[in-house]
Amino acid sequence: MEQVSVQHFRSFGDEVKIGLKPGLNVIVGPNGSGKSNVIDSLLFALAQDSAALKTRAWSDLAHRGRRGPPMVRLQLSSTAAASSASDGGGGGDSLTLLARIREDGARTLSVDGRVATLQQARDALSAAGLDTDASFFVRQGVAGAALSGAEVPA
């Protein structure tokens, strides 16, 4: 992942772009700064189900003062994304995944500007070398419990 853009999603009203570097990325900040919402936006765009975000409905993820549809855009740039293009999953050496919440509360996905099913989005991400089970995310409570030796929450 090279960049994530978040707009009208949870605590993010206006568009926020977060650049990511190869390797380990850590999101830090004071309480209430939106760290968990960044992780939730990534999980939402990575085609996870609503239970992974601890919400019952996609519409619960909308910013309360929103002026447009909640959306998360992931930009992947690598040779892995280029190999996805050869399989029909992308165009060139990058892949763009857009996840939006429609007015009726449904999530829609598109890959490189084309409407995609949940499975097509997962396949494109997988072909680009991104593990779509999101096991590479470590939430704040899990990290704290692991470091203190306490039982790790699910």
Tens digits of residue pLDDT in 58-80: 777 888 776 778 899 999 885 44
Q: Roughly how many angstroms between the first and final C-alpha of the chain, as a whole number? A: 25
Q: What is the mean pLDDT of residues 91-115?
A: 89
Which pLDDT belongs to residue 144?
67
Q: What is the mean pLDDT of residues 5-14?
A: 86
pTM of the model: 0.75
Tens digits of residue pLDDT in 12-66: 888 999 998 888 888 888 888 888 888 888 888 887 777 777 777 777 788 877 6
Which pLDDT belongs to residue 146?
67
Higher pLDDT, 84 or 12: 12
The residues facing 4 across adjacent strands are 18, 74
Calpha distance 130→20 (Å, rounded): 14
Q: Which domains does the chain have, with CATH numbers?
A: 3-148 (3.40.50.300)
Backbone angles phi and psi of 52, in degrees to 5: -65, -25
The one-letter amino acid at 81 = A
